[in-house]
Amino acid sequence: MKCSKRHKLWSQCSGVRDPAAYVKRSELATPAGIDRDFNFLAGIERKLENTEKECEARGLDVAVPDARGYRQPLQKGEYHLKRAMEGCGVIVYRAPKGMQRSKENLTQWNKKCLAWTVEWFHESGQRSLCPALENLSVEAAYSKMKGESQPVSSKKRKLGHKDEPASPPTADTAETATPSPVESQHETDTQQPPPTERYFYLLRPRTPGSSRVLILLSNSSSLSELLKGREVLEFPTIYVLPEPPSTLPPGFILESQYLSQSAENSSSTVEATLSGIPPPSPRQEFMAPGVVPGVGGVGKDPEAAAGLSEERILDVLYKDLTSSEGQITSSPDQSHTL
């Protein structure tokens, strides 16, 4: 507008309010002063939001607030990784920075899917770390880590070379093709034994007790389906065992058994609390059968404690009181107080 340009030219005004300009105290608690402060704070918040959106659009590192409200800078590619983990529904517990498990975590975003760092424990107890895409099945990820051959899919089989029509066998070829009994026996001896069946179990972290809590996994399901809604410590830990869930080796327990035991312990504690009986303590295991703690003192029989009459208790208290008064009167320093 012409008047606005004329005002800026005459008064050398830029048109932007100076937030550092001096304001009298009487002008602070006014509608104009409150409006000025509100616009100043809203402008700062608007600039921060625009900057974060621009950084996200360019793929630059942004800072997100942690649990205490401080902003920690994200590493390169960690923003997309964080969004992918939030979308897959996996509960990831982070280890402190600098710890061994935090250093071993190389999980990253692979443009289309997550590439998990999977911790494998074999039957022999050997530990292996290997990346695995979330769209792979557990069996395929383990076979790829071991370097085992994968079965050819039907699509690849169709794209392969077609088998040439076989010519009718002649007498000579029939004789040469027929193996001798010795050769057939030798081939049978050199055949490899069939692979043993193996079971995959996911470790549930942060559980009390010495037994490891395992979750049975389906061999044909993908990692994204199996890890959805599960808890992992930095990255998933999978045990490969030949034992079925019904015969797990000592030191392992299924999640269903762990949950049932936890429910029983909690229900017994609640019942004891409601009935007024305190839960048993470890000291009671070493007490005599006839001793009941908490009734008439530890180590006393409740029947003997119930046999004390009120007159006996008052007599004992009276003797204690008279003996203390006699001591006070015999003291030369405190005789004037009586």
| Interval 95-106: pLDDT, tens | 888 889 999 999
Distance from the Cα of residue 323 to its chain's centroid: 66
What are the tens digits of pLDDT across the range 180-222? 554 444 444 444 445 568 999 999 999 988 899 999 999 999 9
pLDDT for the residue 335: 43
Predicted local confidence at residue 202, as pLDDT: 96
Q: Which residue has the higher pLDDT, 176 or 123?
A: 123
269 pLDDT more than 90: no
Share of the chain above pLDDT 90, in %: 29
When comparing pLDDT for 86 and 214, which is higher?
A: 214
Q: What whole-number percentage of the chain has pLDDT above 70?
A: 63
- For residue 280, name the pLDDT band (cuts at 50, 70, 90): low
Binning pLDDT at 50, 70 and 90, where does residue 252 land? very high
**Mean pLDDT of the 281-309 span:** 48
Say whether pLDDT at 169 is over 60. Answer: no
Mean pLDDT of the chain: 74
Note the pLDDT of residue 197: 85
pTM of the model: 0.50
Average pLDDT over residues 150-179: 46
Q: What would the mean pLDDT of 133-149 be, rounded to a whole number? A: 88
Most confident of 68-82, 126-140, 289-303: 126-140
Q: What is the pLDDT of residues 225-245, one digit of tens each?
A: 999 999 999 999 999 999 999
- Better-predicted residue by pLDDT, 186 or 12: 12
10-14, 107-111, 181-185, 315-319: range with lowest mean pLDDT: 181-185
pLDDT of 275 strictly over 50: yes
Note the pLDDT of residue 299. 45
